[in-house]
Every structure is written in C-alpha cells, then in structure tokens.
C-alpha cells in the first residue's frame, strides 16, 4: 500500500489510476474493428475498482490543502485527468505529420475520439476544462496546480476546517476547473442497499463505471 500521506506517492497513485482509465485509448486491441477479449475488459475494470478503493481510503484518512485551502480529492484527480488527457492529445497532434499514412498505425483522429469518448462518457463535468487545455496547448503530464499538502484527518482538523471556512471545497477558488458552481449532490450519488440489506461503499460519480465505455469509431 502506498504512503498516501506523501504528496509524491499520492500523485503517483493518481497517475496510475489515470493510465487505467485511459488505457483503452492506448491499446491497439481496441482498434481496427477488433472486439477486445472479455478478460481484457475485466482486467481494466478490476484495476479501476482498486483505484476507487484507494481513493476511498485516502478520503477517510486525509485532507488535501492547496495553498492552505481544503479541497476534496476529486478536484485534484479531475484536474490531473483533464490536463493529462489534453497533454496527450496535444502531443498526438504534434507528431501526427511525422507518422505518415501507414495503415498499421492507429489514426490520430481515432485516438483523440476515444480519449474524448472516455471523458464524455464518465467525466462530462471536466470536458469543458479539458477542451480549454487543448486549445491553449497544455503540454504538462504532471500536477500543475497550487502547492499540495496532505494532512491526517482527525476530529480536531475536521472541526477546525469547518470553523474557519466552508469545509472541503469541490473547486479551487483561485484556479477553478468547472464551468458552473457545483454542489455535493453532483459529486456523490447515493447508492441503493445491496444484497442482504447491506449498503455498498459510497459511489463516486467522478470515478468511471466498472467497465470502460464503448469507444467511438471514426471513418478512415
């Protein structure tokens, strides 16, 4: 288990999660009209599920401060996902001319369509921010936000945050990424009771579904 109290290790975990989420766009087995093996789809779903579990554990144990302002971990994850996706698309467009017209290569238009298909299917709230990053040719694959600090969650720290402010914010007041003000109801979706009357772990609408979305096909 990574040391989630470490800024570097926490960001490493986010990068691994992002790779898992976007992996269908990077895997040639999802292109050229191929139907990926069910075992491959299940493997991706399993990796994403483990990522969700790690983020849930992080949220229970730690609080993120950005330049002293407490924010939900969703902000950091969503921003990194949008910026990483944008940097990938910008890089793809930059090398497109050098690739030529070789049939065996995945067309850049297909790759971009699949990246954007994943975002639009599972992360529609951040798609406008992703689009702005592409327009300004964002080229960084690492965290570019304010200084990040991780502090242990305790009764004292939670009470202090609630006392001096509005609690953990869903967006950064200095570097917002959402087009409109969002509320908690857009971040956490209540889940029905599971089998035997047990309630599943809280669902996080900012984390993708248990299986990759269908990838869009583009004409050659």
The tens digit of pLDDT for each residue in 20-54 reads 999 999 999 898 788 889 999 999 999 999 999 99
Q: Out of 29-33, 42-46, 77-81, 142-146, which region has the weakest mean confidence (pLDDT)?
A: 29-33
User: 6: how many CB neighbours lie within 10 A of its CB?
Assistant: 12
- Cα separation, 127 vs 120, in Å, equals 6
Q: What's the pLDDT tens digit per position in 89-119?
A: 999 988 876 665 555 577 888 999 999 999 9
Q: Which of 183, 74, 78, 187 is nearest to 129 (CA)?
A: 78
What is the pTM (predicted TM-score) of this model? 0.78
- Whether the Cβ atoms of residue 82 and residue 133 lie closer than 8 Å to each other: yes
Tokens of 67: 């330049």
pLDDT above 70: residue 180:
no
Burial class of 199 by CB neighbour count within 10 A (0 to 12, 13 to 18, 19+): exposed
Q: Provide the residue ranges of all domains of the chain, joining segments of one domain with +.
A: 7-204
Distance CA 216, CA 213 (A): 9
């Amino acid at each position: 288990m990574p040391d989630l109290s470490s800024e570097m290790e926490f960001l490493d975990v986010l990068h691994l999660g992002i790779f898992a989420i976007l992996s269908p766009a990077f895997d040639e087995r999802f292109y050229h009209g191929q139907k990926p093996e069910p075992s491959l789809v299940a493997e991706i779903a399993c990796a994403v599920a483990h990522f969700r579990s790690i983020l849930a554990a992080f949220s229970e144990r730690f609080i993120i401060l950005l330049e002293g302002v407490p924010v939900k971990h969703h902000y950091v994850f969503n921003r990194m996902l949008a910026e990483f996706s944008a940097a990938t698309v910008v890089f793809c467009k930059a090398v497109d001319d050098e690739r030529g017209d070789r049939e065996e290569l995945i067309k850049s238009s297909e790759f971009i369509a699949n990246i954007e298909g994943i975002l639009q299917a599972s992360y529609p709230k951040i798609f406008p921010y992703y689009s702005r990053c592409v327009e300004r040719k964002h080229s960084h694959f690492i965290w570019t936000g304010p200084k990040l600090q991780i502090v242990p969650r305790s009764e004292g720290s939670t009470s202090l945050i609630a006392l001096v402010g509005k609690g953990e914010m869903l967006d950064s007041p200095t570097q917002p990424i959402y087009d409109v003000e969002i509320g908690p109801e857009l971040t956490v979706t209540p889940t029905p009771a599971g089998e035997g009357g047990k309630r599943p772990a809280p669902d996080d609408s900012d984390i993708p579904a248990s299986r990759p979305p269908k990838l869009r096909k583009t004409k050659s």
